[in-house]
Amino acid sequence: MSPFKGQTGLKRILNAAGYSFDGLRAAFTGEAAFRQLVLLNVILIPLSFLLNVSRVERALLIAVCLLALIVELLNSAVEAAIDRISLDRHPLSKNAKDMGSAAQFVALSMITIVWAVILI
């Protein structure tokens, strides 16, 4: 059992929330791509409330925007872990980083497609 897993109940939830906010802060201060996606969300999410769409469509418009943030957080985590292991160029490190980038490309493509399908 990990010594880092000792907390239970409310204390564990509070610790987890703190770690989550630390991660969001680290992403916002250290990752330009994350800040750009936050800006995109600040524009698109309020815009979704101004559009004449159903609640389900609005939920989809918002969900794909938030999904891109999630993917960027995971992509940044993969990149940080790879860089922590070694800054040397290695084919497996390149593959891991490229796959994270590809995941973000798919998420951004999904925003474009979902918004286009709903609005057109």
Count CA within 13 A, CB hemisphere, residue 77. Answer: 11
DSSP 4: G
- The binding site for ATP comprises 12, 19, 31, 79, 97-98
72 is catalytic: yes
Annotated binding-site members for substrate: 12, 58, 72, 101
Binding-site residue ranges: 12, 19, 31, 58, 72, 79, 97-98, 101
What are the structure tokens assigned to 108, written together?
């951004």
Beta-carbon contacts of 29 under 8 Å, excluding residues fewer than 6 positions away, are: none
> Of 72, 82, 93, 104, which is the active-site residue?
72
Kindly list the catalytic residues.
72
